Chains A and B, each alone.
Chain A
């Protein structure tokens, strides 16, 4: 199989960033039409009072799936697809840092999407995309259907996909820039993506933690009770509200910033002038990204929380307009004294800015606690966020599609049809959503309304806009699809752009650049070898294209294993049995083993720009970045524990948990950290026996830790030797929930570490990982020590206070 053949095998196994980018882009468009069809059906239902096309349950499921799919399976993946294709090119690199991980991210995303669609058939989630508690966690038939579990599986796969992707992009953007390509020379799209992936790294672990709480409550109803009951002082609605929106608010900026990046790419090319205030735009995106992590409480203005916190959030939320003002003014200034070639990409870009202005202004309304008293839960909110996500987000990304289509395919799309697509979309978008600002009294997520409300005319108008908008999108597909085969041939730089992707052929060859560009201090970009060219003086990667791998069969296998495993975990009702989990585990292990054993060649250039991460290898940087996301993940789990503890009326007394066992476990894990680092020392020194012994010791200690934990779990569940006597689940359900979930997740991490040692061990016995190859032991150690650090905090928090 040739890596560039049009066969199915090529697409299933490709790890090349261009292929993965195309996969992401096309898949996101498919989900766009699926989720969009749900929307059209809802709009049709609501076009007249008492519309009876859809029943209530179906409608509620549609509105939930529409939100989840659009936000998580369309908006970000479309941006990620473009980023996959173009970030390496714009950085002067030949692929991402971890190509197989990249493919793995895609397959996780796709299989996650399969799970979402599957959940439909189990009565999909019906609580709105926000999955509010306790309705999402309650399992009695009147509440939420079992499909929520399967949807949770899909969401967990998506979180995995995004986390892997963010690690990949972070390492790539710091460790693979062409010589001389300083961070300040990057154009707006790479900058926006860099900031976005950091946000993803820090925000998605919160969603993962929430999903684990949700799944646990639903699988063990009556025993685990974080989100399902308000007993004992617990306020499940607030707990979920915090955890979800702590993720959810940064998430909507994660969806927006790549679009802003695309606008920042398109404007210079079509205005024939540099971006005005480019560095201020970049700074503004950073500021907005930071503030976005402390505005989540604006979704909780009327929940009854303290005025201190609501005041904080109203101020931060109103203040976040400021960086966006700078961005908007800068984009507008770019148009001043420009020479704007009004082609489809820039029409979409400018349209996106215009709709962003409307969306942003109305966001300030919602940022006001006083106004939220009336606007909460109404169609005003729906209008606001669709102006941002569709108006600013989708339109800009579509502009990006048109902009980069010639590069990806070597063909030009039909400009007239594209302009028609723009005009229809822009006008119908406003007909669809502007009336919703006027539907201030209409609640969200209602599946019909009586005629005496007077809401019919505006709803009818919106439906007309929606139908035109929806069907106009077919123009995009038809245009690009047809142009793929019949479009006019496009050269390497049809738009006369300045960024590096325009320096390579359309479409680029497998290896992207014949020679990596070099940028010299005077701002000159040297694109190919020649006299006086820096390459002649030894900068750059020389005259031959280094050999790299471009395909691997293991990512899809691993992803399939994860998919099957999670389905086994979520498809039945109640806790899963071993039989349900085995197929997924087997497939996953086969995949991971193959992945580990495979010799996959990733060429690493020494002469790259890597400030400020020069002195750390790509893999090490990747492992640490992963640990950063784990910090947030465990932090949110701990927050959940502290939340219920602080608000609880009844908590076990101080000597309830077995302090002795806990202390022993603490010493065990600390010792295992010592053995782990001694393993590294042995490996570096080339001492095979020392390495064998230390790893064995680490494994034994880890296993003993888990054994003790299992004993504790049993004791607490039975409760014979406790004071007060009786199962912890009966006496202290909240303490039980927080203890079992937190130590359980930690225990899974310990187990994973043991599995890693088990995998490494046969090779260690054969003398692998010594001296220069000891990095693997280091990576294991980084993970193991982190797991120890988590316990260092868990021990006092659960046993000593």
Chain B
């Protein structure tokens, strides 16, 4: 991978961070949407760092699965502990 690619990815990372900072300044967006967008943007940045800086996109696919399983497991903990005290009201 060339230096140009690294710098380009870096530029995107910086820009997206700028978007995050700008986002919280915009009035009128619901909290839920702000949070979701911020987490989504963070996830996007993480993917870029992983895919390009860690070269994950060039590794065997099962490796990404090993990492993804960890993430899924942790999401199960987060979502269930949330639902334990805040179940959707019918």
A and B touch in the complex (CB under 8 A): yes
A781 at the interface (CB under 8 A from B): yes
| CB pair A673 B49 closer than 8 Å | yes
Q: Which of the candidate stretches A420-428, A547-555, A614-622, A743-751 sits at the interface with the other chain?
A: A614-622
Instruction: Name the prevailing secondary structure of the B interface residues.
Output: helix
Residues of B33-55 whose CB lies within 8 A of A: 34-35, 38-39, 41-42, 45-46, 49-50, 52-54
Q: Which residues of chain A come closer than 8 Å to B82, judged between CB atoms?
A: 642-643, 646
Complex CA gap A615/B45 in Å reads 26
A704 within 8 A of B: no
Q: Which of A305, A635, A681, A800 contacts B77 (CB 8 A)?
A: A635
In contact, A792 and B42 (Cβ under 8 angstroms): yes
Judge whether B71 and A613 touch: CB under 8 Å.
no
Residues B70 and A632 in contact, CB atoms below 8 Å apart: yes
> Which residues of A sit under 8 angstroms from B66, Cβ to Cβ?
624-625, 628
Task: Mark out the residues of chain B between 49 and 70 whose CB falls within 8 Å of any chain A CB in the assembled complex.
Answer: 49-50, 52-54, 59-63, 66-67, 69-70
Number of A-B residue pairs with CB-CB distance less than 8 Å in the complex they form: 163
A246 within 8 A of B: yes
Q: Are B60 and A613 in contact (CB under 8 A)?
A: yes
> Chain A residues near B75 (CB, 8 Å)?
635
Q: Number of contact residues on B: which range applies? A: 35 or more
Interface residue? A579 (CB, 8 A): no
Please indicate the chain A residues that have their CB under 8 angstroms from the CB of B38 in the complex. 796, 800-801
- Is A663 touching B21 in the complex (CB atoms < 8 A)? yes
Per-residue B-contact encoding for A657-694, CB less than 8 Å = 1, 0 else: 00100010011001101101110010000000000000
- Say yes or no: B13 contacts A670, CB within 8 Å: yes
A627 vs B71: C-alpha distance in the bound complex, in angstroms? 11
- Is B83 positioned at the interface, with any CB of A under 8 Å from its CB? yes
B85 contacts chain A at the CB level, 8 A cutoff = yes
> A308, B87: Cβ atoms under 8 Å?
yes
Chain A, residues 330-356, CB within 8 Å of chain B (1/0): the string is 000000000000000000000000000
Residue in B41, B70, B77, B83 whose CB lies within 8 Å of A628: B70
Q: Are B49 and A789 in contact (CB under 8 A)?
A: yes
A624/B63 in contact, CB under 8 A: yes
Does B26 sit within 8 A of A, measured CB to CB? no
**Is A393 positioned at the interface, with any CB of B under 8 Å from its CB?**
no
Closest residue on chain B to residue A682 by CB atoms = B3
User: For the side of the interface on A, what is the size category?
Assistant: 35 or more
A629 at the interface (CB under 8 A from B): yes
**A636, B77: Cβ atoms closer than 8 Å:** yes
Cβ of A801 and Cβ of B78 under 8 Å apart? no
> Which B-chain residue is minimally distant from A306 (CB atoms)?
B87
Nearest A residue to B75, CB-CB: A635
State whether the Cβ of B84 lies closer than 8 Å to any Cβ in chain A: yes
How distant is the Cα of A643 from the Cα of B82 in the complex, in angstroms? 7
Q: Knowing A663-B17, A676-B53, say if A793 contacts B42 (CB, 8 Å).
A: yes
The distance in angstroms between the C-alpha atoms of A201 and B67, with both chains bound, is 11
Interchain nearest-CB distance for B40 vs A (Å): 10
Does A667 lie within 8 Å of B70, measured CB to CB?
no
- Closest Cβ–Cβ distance, residue A712 to chain B (whole Å): 17
B49:A792 contact, CB within 8 angstroms = yes
CB-defined contacts of B14 to chain A, threshold 8 Å = 667, 670
Minimum CB–CB distance for A118 against chain B, Å: 32
Contact of B73 (CB < 8 Å), options: A293, A614, A786: A293
Task: Add 11 more A-B contacts to A628-B66, A631-B67, A801-B35 (CB < 8 A).
Answer: A242-B77, A306-B87, A624-B59, A625-B66, A631-B71, A635-B75, A639-B81, A677-B6, A789-B46, A789-B49, A801-B31
Residues of B within 8 A of A (CB): 1-3, 6-7, 10, 13-14, 17, 20-21, 23-24, 31, 34-35, 38-39, 41-42, 45-46, 49-50, 52-54, 59-63, 66-67, 69-71, 73-78, 80-88
16 contacts between A and B (CB under 8 A): A238-B85, A297-B84, A300-B84, A308-B83, A616-B59, A616-B63, A625-B66, A628-B67, A635-B75, A638-B74, A673-B10, A674-B6, A681-B3, A792-B46, A793-B46, A801-B38
